[in-house]
Amino acid sequence: MSNAKVLMLIAAFVALTFGSFIWFIVTWDADKEQPVGQLTPAYIERATI
């Protein structure tokens, strides 16, 4: 594989990743999601040995 093809594949991957991140930010609806600061971990019952 030539250097130009490798660079094009890398550029396509970066563009796709960046584009999907931008799409995520643009379509984010804060009213539908609980704030991260108010999330609590699920209760895990500890096994007694």
Instruction: Please give the model's pTM, rounded to 2 decimal places.
Output: 0.59
Least confident range from 1-5, 9-13, 31-35, 40-44: namely 40-44
The Cα-based distances of 32 to 12, 35, 47 in angstroms read 32, 10, 35
Task: Look at residue 36 and tell me if it is in a domain.
Answer: no
Tell me the residue range of the domain where 6 lies.
1-28
Q: How far apart are CA 49 and CA 43, in angstroms?
A: 19
Instruction: Read off the pLDDT band of 12 (50, 70, 90).
Output: very high
* 21 lies in some domain: yes
pLDDT at 31: 83
Domain-embedded: residue 40: no
Number of folded domains in the chain? Answer: 1
Residue 43 lies in a domain: no
Average pLDDT over the chain reads 84
